Amino acid sequence: MEGTVRWVAATAIAPVAWGSNYYVTHEFLPAGHPLWGGVLRALPAGVLLWAVRRRRPSGPWWWRSAVLGTLNVGAFFALIFVAAQLLPSGVAATVMATSPVVMMLLAWILVSERPAVGQLAGAALGIAGVLLLLTGSGEIPAAGVAASVGAMALSSLGYVLTKRWGAGVDVLSLTSWQLVAGAVVLLPAAVLVEGAPPALDGAAVAGFGYVTVVATAVAFAAWFTGLRHLPAGTVGLVGLLNPVTGVLLGTALAGELLTARQVGGLVLVLAGVLAGQPVLRAALRRGRRPGTVQCAGAPAPEPDVSGQDRPDDLARPHRHTDAAPGGVVPRDLPVVLHRQAPAGVRARPVSARRPGGADLAVVPPGHRDPAG
């Protein structure tokens, strides 16, 4: 459980950084150069990560890097740059929040990860929150929405393919190859369509520095780390933190108004993130189970990353259905303690007690039980 929480927290770095990217792009980066914006963002980030690992792709990873780089970086960066220029920060971020549903469906098809009920419920809450956030934003340019939807669809496919193909490759190398490949795809188009790169003032250089290091190198490495250790649906739901960050920064720093309806949307988005997490679902399932008699010192079953308990009968406590009222076990009634206790250990239930109120405990090998 602690490991799952740790990977969820690491994954959350990505959507928070991406949510802040909308504000930085809108306020500091030169408008009208989406292709060059993608190149200047991706190429330095890819080179930076490659310098850490210094590993080149081999075999099928040459063409896989080109495909993933186009989906996750090249086309994605260009479209999201257009969206950031045309839409308010909050709206551009919230359109991307529909990606969990697309990721769940693609993961079901491509990597056989069937979405859990909690994940679908979380996605429904997130989409409802997105609709509230969009409704309260006034007139929305159709071109900006189309750019955001295209970026969401292409990147969702790229993320699931990264999960399918990425086993056995370290995350930093995997990320650097995609960023460099995406920049290489964008570069000819940037030269042909936009001509020379835009002139950058001090604010733009600082903005690109933040976008390159934090919102690209660190964020993509964190995101692909999450895809390595968590189900794609869970990672997609963590991505709902993207619009929350975008809306809050747009309100706090850009002076964009936050209506009561948008506040309700934020609450629904956060509820969707929590509803789809396997740790929370496992905790709720354990809380709904009837009271059990568990051996003292016996390990409790741990949930795996898909949120399903391991089918390990030896680590599962068993109910005692014949206890008298009040939890007192009659002396003449045998107590079923565990299917298999460790050798040399007398495992006794903690929740049951003999008449007189004495709790039963585990007696280690070689120790005489004074009560026995």
User: Among 267, 284, 301, where does a domain finish?
Assistant: 284
pTM over 0.75: no
pLDDT(360) > 50: no
pLDDT at 286: 60
Q: Among 167-176, 343-352, 359-368, name the most confident range.
A: 167-176
Would the CA dihedral through 35, 36, 40, 46 be positive or negative? positive
Q: Among 162-166, 344-348, 360-364, name the most confident range.
A: 162-166
Q: Of 209, 261, 204, 250, which is closest to residue 19 (Cα–Cα)?
A: 250
Query: Do 73 and 184 sit in the same domain of this protein?
Result: yes
Query: Do 146 and 277 sit in the same domain of this protein?
Result: yes
Query: Do 244 and 300 sit in the same domain of this protein?
Result: no
Q: Among 168-182, 287-301, 311-325, name the most confident range.
A: 168-182
pLDDT more than 90, % of the chain: 33
Measuring CA to CA, how many Å separate 278 from each of 76, 284, 302, 323? 29, 10, 11, 33
User: Among 264, 284, 304, where does a domain finish?
Assistant: 284
Is residue 134 very low, low, confident or very high in pLDDT (cuts 50, 70, 90)? low
Cβ contact 106:232 at 8 Å: yes
**309 strand-pairing partners:** 303
The domain in which residue 367 lies consists of 293-372
Location of structure tokens 């409704």: 135
Query: Do 65 and 159 sit in the same domain of this protein?
Result: yes
Query: Do 198 and 323 sit in the same domain of this protein?
Result: no
* Domain count within the chain: 2
CB count in 10 Å sphere of residue 28 = 18
User: Among 284, 307, 334, where does a domain finish?
Assistant: 284
Query: Do 249 and 341 sit in the same domain of this protein?
Result: no
**295 strand-pairing partners:** 349
Query: Do 300 and 236 sit in the same domain of this protein?
Result: no
pLDDT(31) > 90: no
Query: Do 238 and 345 sit in the same domain of this protein?
Result: no
Q: Among 94-103, 230-239, 251-260, 273-282, name the most confident range.
A: 230-239
Average pLDDT, the chain: 77
Query: Do 18 and 111 sit in the same domain of this protein?
Result: yes
Query: Do 198 and 270 sit in the same domain of this protein?
Result: yes
Query: Do 156 and 254 sit in the same domain of this protein?
Result: yes
pLDDT at 355: 47
Cβ contact 224:162 at 8 Å: yes
Lowest mean pLDDT among 76-80, 93-97, 124-128: 93-97
pLDDT(268) > 80: yes
Query: Do 28 and 177 sit in the same domain of this protein?
Result: yes
pLDDT at 307: 44
pLDDT(250) > 70: yes
